[in-house]
Copies of this chain bind each other. A is one copy, B any other.
Amino acid sequence: MSVDEGPSAAQRRAPTLEAVAELAGVSRATVSRVVNDSERVSPEAREAVTAAITALGYVPNRAARSLVTRRTDTIALIAHERPDTVFADPFFASVLRGANQALSLTQLQLVLLQVQGDQQRDRALRYVGNGHVDGVLLLSLHGDDTLATSVSKAGVPLVMAGRLLTGEVVDSVDADNVGGAGLAVRHLVATGRRRLATIAGPLDMSVGVDRLRGYTEAVLEAGLPDAATRIAAGDFTEAGGRAAAARLLAEHPTLDALFAASDLMALGALRALRAAGRRVPEEVAVIGFDDAAPAAYTDPPLTTIRQPVERLGQEMVRLLLRRIGDGPGEPVAVVLPTELVVRSSA
């Protein structure tokens, strides 16, 4: 048995302002005022209108409104990813969740713009640049910054995650990656480790750069200059982490702790260590950053530096809303705290 469809929504025309006005015995303008709860409207009028609205099930027509106000009540989330990349990135999903949450307090809608090739890039840019959205959230997973500046140049409010490596400053929200990496190092040192090494992320992304910098600064501060030289590059993937760990292990057989700049790389490191017959954490402690991939899935659970990914999404929206409301101004860079989450005895 199929669900009864009735007349399609496109056919059965929704009630208009006009209808509400008539039923309430006022003018369209008054109804509009009530709907946008602006200006002074007499209590009686307001009540009559409200009643009519509920009676009719009136919902404002977004298109009509948008046509005159030039606002769209819509913001775009642009995820710029290379063809090879996983859109199913848990980081992305968590940010999305946070953003949606913050947005659910407003009347705004979120549209998703996935950018892969140059063609999609241009399409997204045109879409955004032509007033189809009130603002843009940019998740530039690859530190590719031309999108950010393009959007910004188009005069559309923009908030990005992370920061640009070019030195240009746009509104952004980021986790305290430098501080977090320091946290990891100090934890390892405090638990007696001395021969540290790190698996760094891609250095064309601010997050990769910052986590490496945090590591380096902290090991130097701890009086472990050698550790600052034990660096292997990873690419934020499990395979990359595994390979990097294997290399480090080969070059520095005596290392007793590994800081991986991402959760997936930490997982890879764990595997490499196991494959090499090293015991974790007895022989080699592993600590990773937590980018929302299931770090807790590892066995044993790895100690991690947690960044508040969901909150990051929330803050991005909050900042964007502020910018949309207040207009342009000095760019703001919000930095969210990171946190050490001890999960094993490492």
A interface residues with partner B (beta carbon < 8 Å): 1-12, 14, 57, 59, 61-64, 66-67, 70-72, 74, 87-90, 92-94, 96-97, 100-101, 104, 109-114, 116, 120, 126-127, 129-132, 148-149, 152-157, 167-170, 238, 267, 271, 274, 292-294, 297-299, 327-328, 330-331
Q: Which residues of B are found within 8 Å of A153, using beta-carbon distances? A: 3-6
User: Which residue of B is nearest A4, CB measured?
Assistant: B153
Known contacts A2-B168, A132-B62, A170-B3; is A97 also within 8 Å of B90 by CB? no
**A88 & B292 in contact (Cβ 8 Å cutoff):** yes
Q: Nearest chain-B residue to A134 (Cβ)?
A: B10
Copies of this chain, whole number? 2
Say yes or no: B114 contacts A112, CB within 8 Å: no
- Complex CA gap A167/B5 in Å reads 16
In whole angstroms, how far apart are the Cα atoms of A106 and B70 in the complex?
Answer: 25
Contact pick for A111, options B11, B110, B154, CB 8 Å: B110
Give me 19 A-to-B residue pairs in the complex whose CB atoms sit less than 8 angstroms apart, sorted by A's number. Answer: A1-B168, A2-B170, A3-B152, A3-B168, A8-B328, A9-B131, A10-B71, A14-B130, A63-B64, A87-B93, A88-B90, A89-B93, A100-B114, A101-B114, A110-B111, A111-B112, A294-B294, A294-B297, A297-B297
Complex contacts, A10 vs chain B, CB 8 Å = 70-71, 131, 155
CB of A100 to closest CB in B, whole Å: 4
Residues of B within 8 A of A87 (CB): 93, 96-97, 100
Since A1-B168, A62-B63, A97-B114 are in contact, a sample of 12 more A-B pairs with Cβ atoms closer than 8 Å, ordered by chain A residue number, is: A4-B153, A6-B155, A8-B327, A9-B129, A14-B131, A63-B66, A88-B93, A100-B112, A104-B114, A109-B112, A110-B111, A293-B294
